[in-house]
Structure 1
Amino acid sequence: MKNIKKKINTLIISDIHLGDSSTRCKEILSLLKKYSFKRLILNGDILDGLNFNRLHTKHWEILSKFRELSAKREVVWVLGNHDAPGHVLFKLLGIKVCHRYSWIYNGKKFLAIHGHQFDKFLSNNYILSQIAFIFYDALKKIDKKRILVDYIKLHNKTWKRGSSEVAKGALRLAKLLKADYVFCGHTHKLLEKKKKG
């Protein structure tokens, strides 16, 4: 019996960080097979930097899947703070690259933006944030079971504040661009905010 795919208009994924050893490749490929969609939005931080030596076989398999999908439907790559140097790769894959993307569906305007643009800590403390990324990467290599890594992510006040800042910034941009819905990545947290006007 053939699996019946759930039909949706747009699938949005973000922050999969290909090149990171903790990327959940099996789940990503499963998600892409589970749904039938007209549009795929890769909403930033699809790569974890541009060191191709860190890309494993499964990471390349996911990139190949994106290329395959782009031949049949619209695939858009919204750049995240870890993706920026990779825009040439995305174009080679036949994928449209942009900093933000909007579309209309059922009379509503939707907007996708990665969200790092609204992270004040990241933009105001560039050097410190780069040091923090290096430390975090090193910690992930040591902490294979991710006990300390997950604890830091869960309890870090700067990280938590960042989620709220990203949400506020996204809502301001949505209002400015007259979007009914806005989707962000960056924070690695599920957060839904509603605001009228």
Structure 2
Amino acid sequence: MPKVRSLFLSDIHLGTRACQADRLLDFLREYPADNTFLIGDIVDFWAMSRSICWTRAQNTVVQKLLRRARSGDRVVFIPGNHDEVLREYCGIVFGDIEVADEMEHETASGKRYLLIHGDQFDQVTRHHRWVAVLGDKAYDLLVSLNHWLSWVRRKLGLAGYWSLAGYAKRRVKTALNFIFDFETSAVHHARERGLDGVICGHIHWATIRQIDGLDYINCGDWVDSCTAIVEHLDGRLELVTWTASPQAPRQLAAPLEQPASETAEA
């Protein structure tokens, strides 16, 4: 596949059983990029403090990213709350990978975006850490149960993939947004910086849409949804989910066209 200009990935959660490293490897092989932005929760130190699951595929993901950086492609790592211990190294380059707390990215079409993980806009994570840790454990349980649920569905001959964790997120999302308004806070922060929008992660909810005239873009995750944002050579942004078959990536949302008023909502 031809090289794209940029990839935006978040919430990979290396070091956990839930990390879908094999599917991520398939995706990375199909999408060489000039720029790869890792927007937080790439390594899950929270989960690794309880138990570590580091597979060969997860190790290969790290090696592949390092090879990209060594070959001259730009790789930037923006730590999130699950790998916040690395924030003290912001401004340092490790193995040709830049570490930054946040940064601005200009697309080929001239639009400027704030790249930030997003836990800064999550009032639970900021002020009630114990609730965030409890929620993290509950999410891990849902993802584990989903493996068994998928096995049962296959045995019953039910077609398609149904996510228990995704269902729970959909049920809770409206209430959480009403109380904490994560997405609006992220867009407001970008507006204060005079930017065209924000590209973030954190809430495992992939989307491309507009909020109050600015672009709100979330990368999703590689635990449940397996999604990423792709910037094409002309600057168009596209939200892609990676299916079980690497030959058949399924587009979740229409590309973010120019001007932004033509954007299709996910």
In the superposition, the TM-score normalised over structure 1's length comes to 0.82
Residues 90-99 or 157-166, more deviating: 157-166
Q: Which runs of 5+ in 1 are unaligned?
A: none
| Partner-residue secondary structure (3-state), 2:76 | strand
More helix by percentage: 1
Matched length? 192
Q: Is 1:46 matched up with 2:42?
A: yes
Distance 1:25 1:114 in 2: 20
Residue type at the aligned position of 2:213: K
Contact in 2 for aligned 1:153/1:159 (Cα 8 Å):
no
Query: Given the superposition, is the C-alpha separation of residues 158 and 99 from structure 1 closer, same or farther in structure 2, using an over 3 Å criterion?
Result: farther
Q: Is 1:132 matched up with 2:135?
A: yes
Matched residue, 2:66: 67
Matched residue, 2:100: 98
Matched residue, 1:171: 187
Matched residue, 2:168: 152
Matched residue, 1:123: 126
Residues 23-32 or 132-141, more deviating: 132-141
Residues 61-70 or 152-161, more deviating: 152-161
Distance 1:83 1:63 in 2: 15
Matches within 5 A, 1:75-90: 75-86=75-86
Residues 50-59 or 159-168, more deviating: 159-168
Distance 1:155 1:172 in 2: 25
Distance 2:19 2:179 in 1: 21
Matches within 5 A, 1:29-40: 29-40=25-36
Percent identity between the aligned chains?
26
Residues 128-137 or 67-76, more deviating: 128-137
Contact in 1 for aligned 2:123/2:180 (Cα 8 Å):
no
Q: Is 1:24 matched up with 2:41?
A: no
Distance 1:13 1:163 in 2: 27
| Partner-residue secondary structure (3-state), 1:54 | coil
Distance 2:117 2:181 in 1: 13
Which of residues 193, 198, 201 is equivalent to 1:182? 198
**CA displacement at 1:12 relative to structure 2:** 0.5
Q: Deviations over 1:23-43 (max 9, x none)?
A: 111221111111231100001
Matched residue, 1:113: 116
The two structures, once aligned, show a CA RMSD in angstroms of 2.8
**CA displacement at 1:142 relative to structure 2:** 6.1
Contact in 1 for aligned 2:40/2:117 (Cα 8 Å):
yes
Distance 1:191 1:163 in 2: 20
In the superposition, the TM-score normalised over structure 2's length comes to 0.63
**CA displacement at 1:92 relative to structure 2:** 4.1
Q: Deviations over 1:44-99 (max 9, x none)?
A: 111121638422111111011111111121100111111112466x9544311112
Query: Given the superposition, is the C-alpha separation of residues 56 and 158 from structure 1 closer, same or farther in structure 2, using an over 3 Å criterion?
Result: farther
Matched residue, 2:55: 56
